[in-house]
Amino acid sequence: MIGSQNSCLKKSLHTLLDKVSEQEKLIKANHNSVKLERLWEKGCIVDDNFNEEEYVVNSLSASSRSYNLTIITTYDCNMTCDYCFQSHLNKISMAAAHIDTILARIVNKIVNKKKSDVKIAFTGEEPLINFDFIRMFLEEFKNRIVSKYGITYSVVLITNGTLLNEKNNGIFKHS
Ligand code: SF4
């Protein structure tokens, strides 16, 4: 008698647990669909056929008064981080001879694309290995472009920080 009562109890318990689990699944599914809807509304999720690259390029170039420029000053680095995906095999660096070409490109954007602000990011593997290039470039940029065209500008340095010192830090403070 007690045995059959236990088995009935177990059966009811299983049925109850199954119902709870079904309810949980429904709540989760509903929750996920609300989340998806919100992401869709905010444009975080788009149709498979939507050309995201074209959209970003067009919106950046059409609406912004800024010209964004990223300069890889070197393919060399002073660190050997385990997780690094860079090869460090090609250690070439940007030479002073390239400054004129880059400045000409900036002038072209200011004049032809009516840009009034220039955002420059120096990166590399470790950009400060080629600090001389950065120093010379900023000097020429300020002398030949900033005052002449009356533009605003900002400089970003993407660095591992190990080569920062009073001397090279100063140049960014006054940029
Ligand atoms: S500092 Fe950056 S570039 Fe250099 S090894 Fe580490 S992850 Fe790579």
Query: What CATH number should be reported for the domain holding residue 74?
Result: 3.20.20.70
- The verdict on 114 and 36 lying in the same domain is no
> Residue 171: beta bridge partners?
none
Tokens of 6: 């236990």
Q: How confident is the model at residue 82 (pLDDT cuts 50, 70, 90)?
A: very high
**How much distance in Å is there from the Cα of 39 to the middle of ligand 1?**
34
The yes-or-no verdict on residue 56 having pLDDT over 90 is: no
CA distances in angstroms from 44 to 29, 36, 37, 41, listed in the order given: 19, 9, 10, 8
Are 110 and 149 in contact by the 8 Å Cβ rule? The answer is: yes
pLDDT (tens digit per residue) in 98-114: 999 999 999 999 999 99
Record the pTM: 0.66
Place of tokens 């250690």: 91
Answer yes or no: is 50 within a domain: no
**Which atom belonging to ligand 1 lies closest to the Cα atom of 77?**
4
d(CA 54, CA 18): 49
The yes-or-no verdict on residue 33 having pLDDT over 90 is: no
- The verdict on 11 and 64 lying in the same domain is no
pLDDT (tens digit per residue) in 137-153: 999 999 999 989 999 99
Answer yes or no: is 52 within a domain: no
Q: What is the pLDDT of residue 174?
A: 60
The yes-or-no verdict on residue 3 having pLDDT over 70 is: no
Q: What is the pLDDT of residue 62?
A: 60
Q: How confident is the model at residue 9 (pLDDT cuts 50, 70, 90)?
A: confident
**Single-letter amino acid, residue 69:** L
Helix (H, G, I), strand (E, B) or coil at 6: helix
**How much distance in Å is there from the Cα of 78 to the middle of ligand 1?**
8
| β 152-157/66-72 pair status | unpaired
Are 121 and 156 in contact by the 8 Å Cβ rule? The answer is: yes
Mutate to test the pocket of ligand 1, among 81, 91, 122, 158 (most ligand atoms within 8 A of CB): 81
Domain with 97 in it: 58-173
- The verdict on 126 and 168 lying in the same domain is yes
